[in-house]
Amino acid sequence: MSAQPSPTARALRTLEILQTRPGVTAEELGERLGVTERAARRYVEILREAGVPVDSLRGPHGGYRLGRGVRLPPIVFSQGEALALVMAVLDGRPAATDSDDTVGSALGKVIRALPEGIGRQAAALRENIAATPDQYASRPDPATTSVLVAAVAEHRRVRLTYRSPRTRRPDGDTDWESDVDPWAVVVRYGRWYLLCHSHRADAVRTYRIDRISAVEPTDQQFIPPENLDPVRALAENLGSGWPMATEVVFDAPMAEVAPWIRPTMGRLEPWGDGCRVVGTTNNPAMYAQEWLAAVPFAFRVVGGPELRAAVAAVAARFTAALD
């Protein structure tokens, strides 16, 4: 027979639940703890007696919530959790092997705070990893990201300076400024994006945060769209708004093609006996040689002279390789 959790363990578990599920009711708390509703209320009282402010609200949206000024207990990692955390950080940011890196410095503090046995394994994992960066991932500036996240939360318009690597103005410069209403910061496929309404383009836009060189909050507020789904909106807009139109038809079912289509390629939709991708691009060469070339299905480029020329160039290069 397994031992029952102690009152202290259940009280700490209660605190953990309140942290992750604000508004939880006594009934829900009891179900999660495996105790009666009355017992769940008692564990809440134990927390209050220990100085943890727990507020209780009545009504349909009531329940228990942690009050302001909560001092959290020390975090205790199991061996598996500690190593998984180190692996996730190093996998997402290879530069974290360097103590001079911001995330690397924070990771070092976490490793030093671990129990000796677990910390030794985590440190060895960090030292022995091969720090090979992901060529497709992006590492935005934390300060820039912080300002944008705050502006999203405060519904505050910002003025940003953006550096486009390929779209040049007549004077040859690639930087431009725009006032935007920041709706959300979204991470997708290792890249950080700002989903916003651009007043420069008077349209919805998605900008790579690692290409934002400056951001300045303004005094103007904005009202975000109702029922906004940031992830869905990002996927719909990644492949739109660029100067060159694209349309590619695939001779395969949509369900089979979908896993191979990047959101930046455009909108995938049924078409005849197969499907097609309709979108825009500012880099037809990358679209042809990196994205289309990786799709293992027959296709036809029926829209976009620039993309047709880029596909023809890739085909000619491969044909020459066989001569």
What secondary structure letter does DSSP report for 109? H
Poorest-pLDDT segment among 119-133, 169-183, 195-209, 290-304: 119-133
pLDDT digits (tens, 9 = 90+) for 164-200: 765 544 445 568 899 999 999 987 766 788 999 999 9
Please name every residue paired with 24 in a beta bridge, in sequence order, or none if there are none: 64
- What confidence tier does 77 reach under pLDDT thresholds 50, 70, 90? low
What mean pLDDT comes out for the span 113-135?
64
Distances (CA, A) of 154 to 142, 178, 309: 18, 19, 46
Cα atoms found within 13 Å of the Cα of residue 244, Cβ hemisphere only: 18
What mean pLDDT comes out for the span 103-127?
73
What is the DSSP code string of 265-292?
G-EEEEETTEEEEEEEES-HHHIIIIIG
pLDDT digits (tens, 9 = 90+) for 24-37: 888 889 898 889 99
- Per DSSP, the chain holds a count of helices (H) and strands (E) of 11, 11
Q: Which of the pair, 111 or 210, is modelled with greater confidence?
A: 210
| Pure H helices in the chain | 7-20, 26-33, 37-49, 79-92, 102-113, 116-128, 142-154, 230-237, 254-257, 284-286, 305-322
- What confidence tier does 90 reach under pLDDT thresholds 50, 70, 90? low
What mean pLDDT comes out for the span 80-90?
71
3-state secondary structure of 300: strand
C-beta separation of 116 from 106 below 8 A: no
What contacts 276, CB < 8 A, 6 or more positions away? 247, 248, 249, 250, 268, 269, 302
